[in-house]
């Protein structure tokens, strides 16, 4: 029964994690619909039977989409290393930056799991869950801000309100991304203490 509860907990966390990011993205879509389309999308959605349940699935899918875009934009380009240099995250050995340290974090988590299973449930697993929630929220803010800005330039002849919202979302997404990297540094430092 205990193993079943753990599996159920991981499934619920996965759904919750991506639904939050998708919900932020969906609210942004409704905001654009409100500004330019007289809430036609919202009225259409409310006509669907069981629309609340369907929207959970839509938010889950949107959460995955925003996370994929954020991964491509930040983790597969220079942005992660640039952000690490911007906030000057350094470790004890001074020469290693977080971008290099993140690559080895996975092995440290495996070592912590092998050697300290009781601590693994309390610390690394919980920190990893917080990391993913924060990363997905950063993705939702950043991606919706960039998409709003593009929409503002291409389709609305530079709408000032949408541009302000876009700037705030991009700024919040970038701040959240910096927080994610700082949080990852803290997690790696704690993993090193557990393993030593």
> 88-97, 111-120, 152-161, 187-196: which range is least confident on average?
88-97
CB atoms within 10 A of CB 17: 20
Measured at the CA of 190, the angle between CA 184 and CA 196, to 5 degrees, comes to 135
In angstroms, rounded to a whole number, what is the distance separating the alpha carbons of residues 131 and 128? Answer: 5
**Residue 34 pLDDT grade (very low, low, confident, very high; cuts 50, 70, 90):** confident
What is the phi/psi pair of residue 93, to 5°? -85, 10
| Whole-number Å distance between alpha carbons of 138 and 114 | 31
Q: How far is CA 154 from CA 71, 144, 157, 159, 163, in A?
A: 25, 15, 7, 10, 12
Residue 106 token pair:
């996975």
Backbone dihedral angles phi then psi of residue 71, each to the nearest 5 degrees: -60, -45
Higher pLDDT, residue 1 or 25: 25
pLDDT at 93: 47
Confidence of residue 103 (pLDDT cuts 50, 70, 90): low
The answer on pLDDT for 89 being more than 60 is no
The pLDDT of residue 123: 66
**What confidence score (pLDDT) does residue 95 get?**
47
Q: What is the pTM of this model?
A: 0.76
Element (H, E) at 49: none
Beta bridge partners of 37: none
């Amino acid at each position: 029964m205990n193993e079943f509860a753990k599996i159920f907990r991981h499934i619920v966390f996965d759904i919750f994690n991506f639904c939050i990011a998708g919900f932020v993205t969906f609210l942004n879509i409704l905001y654009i619909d409100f500004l330019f389309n007289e809430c036609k999308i919202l009225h259409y959605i409310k006509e669907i039977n069981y629309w609340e349940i369907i929207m959970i699935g839509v938010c889950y899918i949107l959460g995955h989409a925003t996370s994929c875009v954020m991964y491509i934009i930040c983790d597969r380009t220079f942005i992660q290393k640039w952000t690490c240099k911007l906030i000057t995250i350094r470790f004890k050995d001074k020469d290693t930056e977080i971008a290099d340290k993140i690559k080895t974090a996975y092995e440290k988590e495996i070592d912590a799991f092998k050697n300290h299973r009781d601590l693994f449930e309390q610390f690394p697993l919980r920190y990893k869950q917080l990391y993913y929630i924060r990363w997905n929220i950063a993705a939702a803010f950043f991606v919706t801000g960039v998409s709003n800005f593009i929409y503002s330039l291409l389709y609305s002849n530079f709408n000032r309100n949408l541009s302000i919202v876009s700037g705030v979302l991009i700024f919040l997404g970038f701040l959240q991304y910096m927080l994610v990297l700082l949080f990852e540094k803290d997690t790696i430092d704690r993993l090193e203490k557990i393993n030593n």
